Amino acid sequence: MIRFTRSARIVRGKFPQAMQWAKEITEFANKKYKIQMSVYLDSFGEVGTIRWFNDYTDLAALEKIRNQLLADQEYFQRLNQAADLLVQGSAFDTVMHTI
């Protein structure tokens, strides 16, 4: 099992808009790509950090979805809507596997 996570920090004063956008981009990806991504907001630690999680059977399955997203103009249009909602340069991806 492979777990992909992406995190990004919310710009101060943009919490409601960023949380709404995070839910919408997650719903878009889940519906269009038939995945089961979930989105969370940190309550402790890095408060104001949004985190997305999705599990894949293997790295090939992750790469397949990643390649589809990279070619999806609508996805990038939706990402651009968050330009003023998320701290530039704060996005961080992690890929893990079960042991």
CB 52 within 8 A of CB 38: yes
Longest distance between any two alpha carbons in the chain, whole Å? 40
Q: Spell out the domains of the chain, with CATH numbers in brackets.
A: 2-97 (3.30.70.100)
Residue 94 has pLDDT above 90, yes or no: yes
**In the chain, beta strands by DSSP E:** 2-9, 38-41, 49-56, 92-97
The stretch 12-37 carries a mean pLDDT of 97
- For residue 29, CA distances in Å to 2, 52, 80, 86 come to 18, 11, 15, 18
Query: Tens digit of pLDDT for each residue in 38-78?
Result: 999 999 988 899 999 999 999 999 999 999 999 999 999 99
Mean pLDDT of the chain: 96
Tokens of 97: 């596997």
pLDDT of residue 46: 84
pLDDT of residue 79: 93
Q: Could you tell me the pTM of the whole model?
A: 0.91
Please provide the distance, in angstroms rounded to a whole number, between the alpha carbons at the two ends of the chain.
9
